[in-house]
């Protein structure tokens, strides 16, 4: 079993149907810790020591957030800036996160078609996620392609429920994988 | 004497009281003087609405005094007595003894017999707890040296009344004993040693009863949950003890005082106090009214020079004794002057003792009238003295740098921030600034607090921050900011005025209580004004929202919006604070606006802000 640290980053979670469904389908397990960043740090004053301890304790870092302006909500950027310190996560002697897994759980309003070269956004979703991928790599982490729930604007309750089940599966798979050597 | 008559009397007394007492209070004369003036007004001297029955009413109203002693007993805290023991016994004891001797000798010189002279001496040694404590509280001086000294002396005087009441019957001049025969009690038929035994056992009985019977009994009454039962029981207790003490020839006041002291340690202390308080207040008011009504006012006008002389003698005699004692007890000059002038009047208790001694044939009616008038005048002089002191003498002392012994010597501080007042509020600011490496100079007027803070290595100086001299020493010329965090609003205003006048370059950050106070301080020239409970209240509000299921971030944002709006509307409403009508309508308008703003922020429409995206991406 692997330990997952799940981080929810959503400034208006109470208004988001899709994210609520995902949260509701998060399996309960003693191997899974879930933290709500906007609940913990409403004033953006992040306790980086505590966050680092949490990171050290997990094998998989799972960040759930909506895509805002092709990126995460600002609190997660703030989190990266203050938690992923030089000499700890990257740079000389920065090996604290070596071998851990980075995976994002994304919700986007637009559907898959919108995120294509012919679509509205003119690029693939993975293009927009490049900064995150590089961050994980610089921290010696293994970058997994994200779990995405797209087209949230037009999904009905039944479809969202289906997506929820898919999410449960996804997390359970991650949990049950063996640790790499 | 029908029922109608009773109600008419009540009407006259109550009307007089509610007219005169607020007026006297507004003039800073205190409510006691208000009652007296009201009494004089309805008495034979002016309107003549009440006549001889005033005298009999006085006997009834004297019960208020008994209740007052019960409450004093209840309020006695042994810890406090112990803490103040040196000043209480030393300063207070010496004051009562020396002043009594002084006036007894003076009275003797005016050819009054020895026993009455002694009675006069003792009566005049008392000062007015009501007037002095109220003034001290209003000026925020309770914790200053003069405040503590005054409090100790007053406390001792309150307690000294008990033995005085016990001694007074012994001062009766032989010729009048027959008249007071009906006062005598059944134990007088016994020989002296049995009398003493009975008295002692009565006192012990009260103590034992109070300790072991009354508390459980009151617990039972309290458990009924019927408030009036408890009130009734409290009244019954006081009346019962009075009757018992009357029966054995002791003073009812002494008995109830004892009962009060015994019950002070029970859990019903505050309940009993609040039950008796209104009765006490009303009856005492009635008592002072009847003193006024039965006063022979003509005496004052018949010989105004004699009257003025007596008043001067009393006031300056008292002040002199107090001042000398102040020197002995090392009060600094300005504190000592305030202390001496503040306690220079004769207290309300003198009325009780005067009427007591008149009944017991110790003092003649005319003499009592004369002295009661003198006492009333001495009370009226106190606020005038204190005003003169503050405007004149204190200014002079302040400007006279060589004489500022009372405050600490400050060696040319050059810290950028001065904090005036280091109570709960200032303390918090001080700690915050200090951990951020900012050097601060603190001024405070509470000697205990200063000593304590010094142990924590704060640079704290004792002194009145409203004195420009002290501010100068604290480095006001070189400082950048002054934080006004004094406890009393009056002092805050004074401080801002002084700073604006002497150190106009200093930026003033001031603590205020409510909105009105904030407006006042801003109008006086404070640069930034803070309502002290505003942020705490909102912090609590945030937690209340979160307990109802709001997310932390959302609750914080709501608080932020609210505070921002509140700050903006404060500035706007400030401009209209003197125009009540515009103010209220504007305040309402701003409030409605805020509610609308909040609803939008909470987001009545789901995913409202994403609508633009969803349209484009389609």
Residue B177 is predicted with a pLDDT of 41
Q: With beta carbons less than 8 A apart as the criterion, state whether B368 and B377 touch.
A: no
Residue B183 is predicted with a pLDDT of 45
Q: Determine the Cα–Cα distance for residues B124 and B162; give it in Å rounded to an integer.
A: 15
Residue count of chain A: 181
Q: How confident is the model at residue A31 (pLDDT cuts 50, 70, 90)?
A: very high
Q: With beta carbons less than 8 A apart as the criterion, state whether B462 and B441 touch.
A: no
Mean pLDDT of B522-547: 94
Residue B180 is predicted with a pLDDT of 40
HEC profile of B139-164: HCCCCCHHHHHHHHHHHHHHHHHHHH
In this predicted structure, which of A93-102, A167-176, B211-220 has the lowest mean pLDDT? Answer: B211-220
Identify which has the larger pLDDT, A179 or B165: B165
Q: How confident is the model at residue B506 (pLDDT cuts 50, 70, 90)?
A: very high
| B195-221 b/e (C-beta count within 10 Å ≥ 16 → b) | beebbeebbeebeebbeeebbeebeeb
Flag whether pLDDT at B196 surpasses 80.
no
Q: Is B111 left (phi over 0), alpha (psi -120 to 50) or beta?
A: left
Mean pLDDT of B537-555: 93
DSSP, collapsed to helix, strand or coil, labels residue B461 as: strand
In this predicted structure, which of B243-247, B295-299, B315-319, B436-440 has the lowest mean pLDDT? Answer: B295-299
Selection from B38-47, B528-537, B575-584 with the highest mean pLDDT: B528-537
For chain A, percent of residues with pLDDT exceeding 70 = 98
Measured between CA atoms, the residue of chain A closest to residue B612 is A109
Distance from CA of A39 to the nearest CA of B (A): 5
Alpha-carbon Rg for chain A in angstroms? 16
Nearest-5° angle of CA B20, CA B22, CA B23?
Answer: 60
CB-CB neighbors (< 8 A) of A12 in chain B: 554, 603, 609
Measured between CA atoms, the residue of chain B closest to residue A19 is B607
Is B554 within 8 Å of A12 when comparing Cβ atoms?
Answer: yes
Contacts of A49 by beta carbon, 8 Å cutoff, 6+ apart: none
Identify which has the larger pLDDT, A25 or B210: A25
Q: Which of A20, A23, A39, A42 is the mutation pick for testing B, counting most B CBs within 10 A? A: A42
Identify which has the larger pLDDT, B28 or B94: B94
Is B606 within 8 Å of A38 when comparing Cβ atoms?
Answer: no
CB-CB neighbors (< 8 A) of B603 in chain A: 12, 15
Measured between CA atoms, the residue of chain B closest to residue A153 is B614
Q: Extract the tokens encoding B265.
A: 């340690």
In this predicted structure, which of A65-79, B22-36, B427-441, B504-518 has the lowest mean pLDDT? Answer: B22-36
Q: How confident is the model at residue B605 (pLDDT cuts 50, 70, 90)?
A: very low
Flag whether pLDDT at B409 surpasses 60.
no
Q: With beta carbons less than 8 A apart as the criterion, state whether A65 and A23 touch.
A: no
Mean pLDDT of B166-183: 57
Mean pLDDT of B396-404: 52
Residue B606 is predicted with a pLDDT of 45
Q: With beta carbons less than 8 A apart as the criterion, state whether B42 and B13 touch.
A: yes
Is the Cβ of A40 closer than 8 Å to some Cβ of chain B?
Answer: yes
Q: Mean pLDDT over all residues of chain A?
A: 92
Q: How confident is the model at residue B405 (pLDDT cuts 50, 70, 90)?
A: very low
Residue A155 is predicted with a pLDDT of 86
In this predicted structure, which of A29-43, A77-91, B1-15, B162-176 has the lowest mean pLDDT? Answer: B162-176
Identify which has the larger pLDDT, B296 or B487: B487
Question: Which residues sit opposite B462 in a β-bridge?
Answer: B444
Contacts of B423 by beta carbon, 8 Å cutoff, 6+ apart: B444, B446, B449, B485, B487
CB neighbours of residue B411 within 10 Å: 7
Q: How far is CA B154 from the centre of its chain?
A: 11
Residue A127 is predicted with a pLDDT of 94
Q: How confident is the model at residue B401 (pLDDT cuts 50, 70, 90)?
A: very low
Residue A145 is predicted with a pLDDT of 93
Q: Extract the tokens encoding B551.
A: 């997310």
Measured between CA atoms, the residue of chain A closest to residue B610 is A109
Contacts of B179 by beta carbon, 8 Å cutoff, 6+ apart: B361
Measured N-to-C along each axis, helices B227-247 and B269-293 cross at an angle, to the nearest 10 degrees, of: 60
Specify the DSSP class assigned to residue B350: H
Question: Closest by alpha carbon to B537, among B559, B509, B515, B567?
Answer: B559
Flag whether pLDDT at B243 surpasses 60.
yes
Q: How confident is the model at residue B176 (pLDDT cuts 50, 70, 90)?
A: very low
Residue B559 is predicted with a pLDDT of 92
CB-CB neighbors (< 8 A) of B610 in chain A: 109, 153
Per-residue model confidence as pLDDT tens digits over A104-148: 999 998 888 889 999 899 999 999 999 999 999 999 999 999 999
Selection from A93-107, B47-61, B105-119, B351-365 with the highest mean pLDDT: A93-107
Residue A65 is predicted with a pLDDT of 96
CB-CB neighbors (< 8 A) of B600 in chain A: none
β-bridge pairing A4-8 and A60-66: parallel
Q: How far is CA B224 from the centre of its chain?
A: 34
Q: Which of B613, B614, B616 is the mutation pick for testing A, counting most A CBs within 10 A? A: B613
DSSP, collapsed to helix, strand or coil, labels residue B529 as: strand
Q: Determine the Cα–Cα distance for residues B312 and B369; give it in Å rounded to an integer.
A: 17
Contacts of B246 by beta carbon, 8 Å cutoff, 6+ apart: B185, B252
Question: What phi and psi values does residue B329 have, to the nearest 5 degrees?
Answer: -90, 15
Q: Determine the Cα–Cα distance for residues B138 and B29; give it in Å rounded to an integer.
A: 13
CA distances, B33 to each of B282, B354, B383, B471 (Å):
15, 16, 12, 38
In this predicted structure, which of B12-21, B64-73, B396-405 has the lowest mean pLDDT? Answer: B396-405
Specify the DSSP class assigned to residue A101: E
Q: With beta carbons less than 8 A apart as the criterion, state whether B509 and B530 touch.
A: yes
Place of tokens 């640790």: A179
Nearest CB neighbour to B551, from listed A13, A17, A43 = A13
Q: Determine the Cα–Cα distance for residues B221 and B236; give it in Å rounded to an integer.
A: 13
Is the Cβ of B599 closer than 8 Å to some Cβ of chain A?
Answer: no
Q: Mean pLDDT over all residues of chain B?
A: 81
Sign, CA dihedral A53-A129-A112-A11, equals: positive
Q: Extract the tokens encoding B448.
A: 């205990």
Per-residue model confidence as pLDDT tens digits over A71-105: 999 999 999 999 999 999 999 999 999 999 999 99
Q: How far is CA B164 from the centre of its chain?
A: 24
Is A12 within 8 Å of B603 when comparing Cβ atoms?
Answer: yes
Asked whether the ipTM of the predicted complex exceeds the cut of 0.85, the reply is no
Nearest CB neighbour to A109, from listed B552, B606, B614 = B614
Domains annotated on chain A, with CATH:
4-176 (3.40.50.360)
Flag whether pLDDT at B394 surpasses 80.
no
Q: With beta carbons less than 8 A apart as the criterion, state whether B611 and B593 touch.
A: no
Residue B185 is predicted with a pLDDT of 54
Is the Cβ of B617 closer than 8 Å to some Cβ of chain A?
Answer: yes
- By CB atoms closer than 10 A (0-12, 13-18, 19+), residue B222 is middle
Residue B178 is predicted with a pLDDT of 40
């Amino acid at each position: 079993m692997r330990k997952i640290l799940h981080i929810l980053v959503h400034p208006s979670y109470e208004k988001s149907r899709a994210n609520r469904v995902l949260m509701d389908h998060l399996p309960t397990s003693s191997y899974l810790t879930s933290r709500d960043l906007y609940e913990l740090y409403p004033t953006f004053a992040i306790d980086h020591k505590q966050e680092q301890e949490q990171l050290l304790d997990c094998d998989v870092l799972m960040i759930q957030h909506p895509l805002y302006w092709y990126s995460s909500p600002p609190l997660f950027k703030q989190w990266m800036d203050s938690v992923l310190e030089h000499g700890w996560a990257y740079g000389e002697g920065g090996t604290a996160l070596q071998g851990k897994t980075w995976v994002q759980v994304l919700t986007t309003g637009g559907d898959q078609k919108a995120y294509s070269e012919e679509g509205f956004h003119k690029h693939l979703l993975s293009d927009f996620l490049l900064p995150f991928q590089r961050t994980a790599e610089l921290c010696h982490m293994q970058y997994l392609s994200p779990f995405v729930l797209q087209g949230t604007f037009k999904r009905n309750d039944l479809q969202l429920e289906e997506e929820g089940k898919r999410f449960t599966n996804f997390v359970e798979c991650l949990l049950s994988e063996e640790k790499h050597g | 004497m029908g029922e109608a008559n009773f109600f008419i009397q009540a009407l006259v007394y109550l009307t007089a009281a509610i007219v005169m007492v607020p007026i006297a209070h507004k003039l800073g004369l205190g409510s006691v003087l208000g009652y007296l003036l009201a009494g004089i007004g309805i008495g034979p001297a002016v309107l003549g609405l009440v006549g001889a029955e005033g005298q009999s009413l006085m006997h009834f109203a004297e019960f208020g005094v008994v209740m007052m002693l019960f409450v004093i007993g209840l309020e006695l805290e042994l810890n406090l007595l112990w803490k103040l023991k040196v000043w209480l016994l030393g300063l207070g004891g010496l004051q009562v003894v020396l002043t009594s001797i002084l006036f007894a000798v003076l009275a003797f010189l005016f050819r009054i017999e020895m026993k009455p002279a002694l009675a006069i001496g003792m009566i005049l040694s008392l000062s007015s707890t009501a007037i002095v404590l109220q003034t001290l509280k209003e000026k925020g001086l309770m914790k200053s040296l003069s405040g503590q000294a005054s409090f100790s002396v007053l406390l001792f005087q309150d307690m000294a009344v008990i033995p005085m009441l016990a001694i007074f019957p012994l001062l009766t001049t032989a010729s009048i004993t027959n008249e007071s025969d009906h006062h005598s009690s059944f134990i007088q038929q016994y020989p002296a040693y049995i009398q003493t035994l009975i008295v002692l056992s009565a006192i012990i009985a009260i103590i034992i009863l109070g300790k072991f019977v009354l508390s459980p009994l009151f617990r039972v009454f309290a458990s009924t949950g019927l408030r009036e039962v408890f009130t009734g029981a409290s009244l019954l207790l006081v009346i019962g003890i009075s009757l018992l003490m009357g029966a054995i020839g002791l003073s009812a006041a002494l008995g109830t005082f004892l009962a009060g002291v015994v019950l002070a340690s029970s859990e019903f202390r505050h309940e009993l106090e609040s039950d008796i308080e209104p009765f006490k207040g009303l009856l005492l008011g009635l008592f002072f009214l009847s003193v006024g009504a039965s006063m022979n006012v003509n005496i004052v006008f018949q010989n105004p020079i004699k009257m003025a002389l007596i008043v001067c003698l009393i006031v300056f005699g008292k002040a002199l004794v107090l001042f000398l004692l102040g020197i002995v007890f090392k009060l600094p000059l300005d504190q000592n002057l305030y202390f001496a002038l503040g306690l220079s009047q004769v207290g309300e208790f003198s009325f009780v003792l005067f009427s007591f001694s008149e009944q017991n044939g110790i003092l003649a009616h005319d003499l009592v009238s004369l002295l009661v008038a003198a006492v009333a005048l001495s009370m009226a002089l106190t606020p005038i003295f204190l005003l003169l002191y503050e405007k004149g003498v204190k200014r002079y002392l302040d400007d006279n740098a060589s004489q500022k012994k009372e405050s600490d010597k400050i060696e040319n501080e050059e810290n950028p921030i001065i904090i005036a007042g280091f109570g709960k509020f200032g303390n918090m600011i001080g700690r915050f600034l200090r951990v951020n490496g900012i050097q601060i100079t603190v001024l405070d007027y509470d000697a205990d607090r200063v000593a304590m803070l010094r142990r924590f290595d704060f640079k704290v100086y004792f002194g009145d921050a409203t004195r420009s001299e002290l501010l100068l020493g604290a480095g006001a010329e070189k400082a950048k900011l002054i934080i006004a965090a004094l406890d009393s609003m009056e002092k805050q205003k004074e401080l801002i005025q002084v700073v604006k006048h002497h150190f106009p370059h200093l930026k003033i950050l001031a603590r205020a209580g409510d909105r009105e106070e904030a407006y006042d301080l801003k109008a006086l020239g404070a640069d930034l004004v803070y309502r002290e409970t505003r942020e705490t209240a909102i912090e609590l509000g945030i937690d209340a929202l979160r307990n109802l299921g709001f997310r932390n971030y959302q609750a914080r944002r709501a608080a932020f919006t609210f505070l921002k709006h509140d700050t903006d509307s404060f500035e706007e409403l400030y401009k209209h604070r003197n125009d009540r009508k515009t103010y209220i309508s504007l305040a309402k308008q701003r409030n409605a606006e805020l509610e609308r703003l909040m609803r939008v922020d909470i987001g009545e429409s789901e995913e409202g802000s994403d609508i633009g995206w969803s349209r484009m991406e389609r």
